[in-house]
Amino acid sequence: MGSAIIPTTIPLHSPKGVFVNEPFVDFSVRENARAMRAALDQVGAQLGREYSLIIGGERVKTANKIRSINPARPVEVVGLHQKAGAEEAERAVSAALQAFDSWRRRSPEERASLLLGAAKLIRQRKFEFSAWLTYEVGKNWAEADADVGEAIDFLEFYAREALRLEAAVPAIQYPGERDELLYIPLGVGAVIPPWNFPLAIMAGMTSAAIVAGNTVILKPSSDAGTIAAKFVEVLEEAGMPDGVVNFCPGSGAEFGNAVVEHPKTRFIAFTGSKAVGVEIHERAAHTRPGQISIKRTILEMGGKDSILVCADADLDAAVEGVTASAFGFSGQKCSACSRAIVEATIYDSFVERLRERVAQLTLGDPIANHNLGPVINQGALASMLRYIEIGKREGKLIAGGEAPQTAEGGYFLEPTIFSEISPNAILAQEEIFGPVLAVIPVANFEEGLKVANNTEYGLTGSVYSSNRAQLDRARRDFHVGNLYFNRKCTGAMVGAHPFGGFNMSGTDSKAGGPDYLYLFTQAKSVAEVLGTVDAG
């Protein structure tokens, strides 16, 4: 890294051509599978290392530590991290403030170059990053690769978006004036990412903030600190100046709250649970001595997502879509399908086909590339098992429901399906964030649409139908931020599917979309009367 004065050593990378999504790795190709196994061996040899906080470029250690473990083998420590507290929060804000004064003056081209350089490095180390995801959060190979690819996409996309924003002009030039519209950075912000997409979402929020000219205090999830540490190492290698991103794992109650409440913090970008997101929003809204700006919150908080299967749907496609959406990464996605709403005339047939399809899924250590790996931790598993007991009282258990014991003590849960669930049942209303699916019968499309809209959330949804009138009606009245027709409700692609939800799903921030960087900037209009200043 450079000095606190901001070096001039960032290599310039030009975003030539249009943005194109990073292609997925085909692991059926022998060479790719071999490369992934080699990366797993390489990363496996690095497990258990200790990582420092990085504040203003300085490596800092604390007395208290955070152990990140492998959820498939909880005795295996993936990384040992420092636990930042209130003292480190103050230091991090100070370091970010100092770096901001010069980072904001860097040209958009230079800041974009940093992102493009980081994207290039991650692309070169794609299998290695996938392996870290497999060890630290339990992703199988395809899920890990998609996470890495999305991180690359965010870096590439936001680099280009920063240059587009720099070229913005007012709608008209008023006669006799030179009029400009400038998008300037906010200042110091907190980035608080989740554990379930610990590279993609963390990299996306961080890169959007810094390419817009802000500086960041990055507080990764305690379950995924190592992946964040590896990303910060990439930023350093790409030429990031000291203090632009300050890496600070820590507790939410002490460190996180201190940063959110700090009078010099200008924005908080958060992805996680509704409860934590609402608390952050409340804390940020309360002004404190020395605060001169209203804090901006950029929140993505989860969902209770539905797939509506109509009587005229392609049942095979619908079964595949529901299976992938409900049980990919063990249902640990805010976009995951946790409710299949199915018309009565096809309900029994759909349920039976779904049960048969899910029975084909394998559960086990993601290193061996099973369909489902572990859930993230013991607390999450216990919560899911409580919901399963509720489901047994509210409906009919037709698949799964058990937590298999393994010699390594991994946190595994079978893919679980309940049928005959009422639209207002607990299982149909509360976010479970695991491989538990409620199948809800409805009389017709109209009733199904009402049920799809009957939760406090509004993140993703899908409709399987061959009826154009029904799809048009859903386009208008299915109230979610990301709606899909005749495909699964997970797997939003950067650029094509800007991601963010309504209601209690968040602030509809639309990550990966053309308006996302506006959230990290403020617009400044400049007007100059022509002919009043000498050209020289």
Bridging pattern class, strands 73-82 and 49-51: parallel
- Report yes or no on whether pTM surpasses 0.85: yes
Catalytic positions:
300, 334
One-letter amino acid of 150: E
User: The domain 305-493: what is its CATH number?
Assistant: 3.40.309.10
DSSP string, 465-491: -S-HHHHHHHHHH---SEEEESS-S--
Question: Residue 199: what are its φ and ψ, rounded to 5°?
Answer: -100, -55
- 92, two tokens: 């991090």
The C-alpha atoms of residue 261 and residue 270 are separated, in whole angstroms, by 14
- Residue 443 burial (10 A CB sphere; 0-12, 13-18, 19+): exposed
Per-residue model confidence (pLDDT) at position 534: 81
Among candidate residues 143, 199, 154, 135, the one with its CA nearest the CA of residue 27: 143
Closest CA to 50 of 36, 64, 38: 64
The pLDDT score that the predictor gives to residue 300 is 97
Q: Which of 432, 429, 489, 425 is nearest to 463 (CA)?
A: 489
Nearest Cα neighbor of 277 from 294, 252, 258 is 252
**List of residues 6+ apart from 193 with CB closer than 8 A:** 201, 202, 205, 206, 218, 220, 221, 228, 271
The amino acid present at 145, given as its one-letter code, is D
Cα–Cα distance for residue pair 477/463, rounded to 1 Å: 12
Domain map (residue ranges) of the chain: 30-301+509-524, 305-493
- Residue whose entry in the numeric block shows the structure tokens 């989740």: 194
At the top level of CATH, which class does the domain 30-301+509-524 belong to? alpha beta
- Strand 188-192 and strand 215-218: the pairing is parallel
Spans in the chain with pLDDT lower than 70: 1-9, 16, 535-536
Distance CA 1, CA 241 (A): 6
Q: How far apart are CA 112 and CA 333, in angstroms?
A: 29
